[in-house]
Amino acid sequence: MEVSLISRLDVRITVRNKNDARRPPRFLRSLDCSSATGAPPAGRPPPPVRPPPREPVPSRPIFRAAPSRPRLLLAAPPSAIAGVMNKRPRDEPSSSLASAQKRQFGAGGGGGGYGGQQGYSEERNSARRVADHYSARSNQTLEERENSPIIHLKKLNNWIKSVLVQLYARPGDCVLDLACGKGGDLIKWDKARVGYYVGVDIAEGSIKDCMTRYNGDTDQQRRKKFSFPARLICADCYETRLDEYLCEDAPFDICSCQFAMHYSWSTEARARQALANISALLRPGGTFIGTMPDANVIIKRLRETDGMEFGNSVYWITFGEEYNEKKFPASRPFGIKYKFHLEDAVDCPEWVVPFHLFKLLAEEYDLELVLMKNFHEFVHEYLQKPEFADLMRRLGALGDGRSVQSTLSQDEWEVSYLYLAFVLRKG
Instruction: Provide the greatest CA pair distance for the chain.
Output: 64
pLDDT score for 147: 67
Yes or no: say if 182 and 70 are a contact pair by the CB < 8 Å rule: no
What is residue 356's predicted lDDT score, i.e. its pLDDT?
A: 96
* pLDDT score of 344: 79
Q: Determine the residue type at 92.
A: E
What does the pLDDT read at residue 148? 75
The gap from C-alpha 291 to its chain's centroid, in whole angstroms, comes to 5
* Beta-carbon contacts of residue 138 (< 8 Å; ≥ 6 apart): none
Which segments in the chain show pLDDT lower than 50? 1-119, 133, 220-221, 400-405
Measured between alpha carbons, how far is 26 from 129 in angstroms, rounded to an integer?
38
**Range list of H helices, 16-117:** 78-81, 95-103
Query: How many C-beta atoms surround the C-beta of residue 311 within 10 A?
Result: 18
Residue 204, judged by CB atoms within 10 A of its CB (0-12, 13-18, 19+), counts as: buried
| pLDDT score, position 216 | 82
- The pLDDT score that the predictor gives to residue 239 is 95
* Prior bond of 251 cis (ω within 30°): yes
pLDDT of residue 408: 87
- Where in the chain are the domains? 69-80+95-101+117-293+365-426
Residue 70's pLDDT is 30
Q: What is the pLDDT, as a whole number, of residue 298?
A: 98
State residue 224's pLDDT score. Answer: 61
For 69-80+95-101+117-293+365-426, CATH number? Answer: 3.40.50.150
